Amino acid sequence: MKQDIRNREDIRLLMEKFYDKLLADESISYLFTDVAKIDLEHHFPVLVDFWDSILFQSDTYHKNAMKPHIDLHQQSPLEPHHFKTWLGYFITTVNELFEGEKAELARQRATSIATIMQIKVIEMKNNR
């Protein structure tokens, strides 16, 4: 039986396996590698802080997670298929590694944040 997400090490593992999938898929990887040109050594700790705050109220993430995505969208449009792909890999990765209350919370929050993010991006498009 799989365990639930228990701590930052588990979140780090979740992020690494999730990004393995994202970065192996050319329909979305270019946004990370060519457009945002992320440095994974810098990016992973931020993602861990973000999910640690959501799942365990660690209060380690104090930035606005929407902002970099709005900036990204201005450089290269984020389309509905990107959100579908992102969320699909996130949920698949959670399901492969974990099960329990926190795993369910992670799937729910990822789904709601992705939905809000997509709405914000569509609003921007309409206001151009």
The least distance separating ligand HEM from the CB of residue 126, rounded to whole angstroms, comes to 18
Place of tokens 């994202």: 22
Name the residue nearer to ligand HEM (CB basis): 1 or 67.
Answer: 67
Cα(36)–Cα(88) distance, integer angstroms: 21
Name the residue nearer to ligand HEM (CB basis): 4 or 83.
Answer: 83
Q: Choose, by CB under 6 A, the member of 18, 21, 52, 86 that binds ligand HEM.
A: 86
Q: Which residues of 75-88 are buried (b: 16+ CB within 10 A; e: fewer)?
A: eeebeeebbebbbe
Stretch that binds ligand HEM, among 1-9, 10-18, 94-102, 106-114 (CB under 6 A): 106-114
The answer to whether residue 46 forms part of the interface with ligand HEM (CB under 6 A) is yes
At position 47, the amino acid (one-letter code) is L
At position 5, the amino acid (one-letter code) is I
The answer to whether residue 72 forms part of the interface with ligand HEM (CB under 6 A) is yes
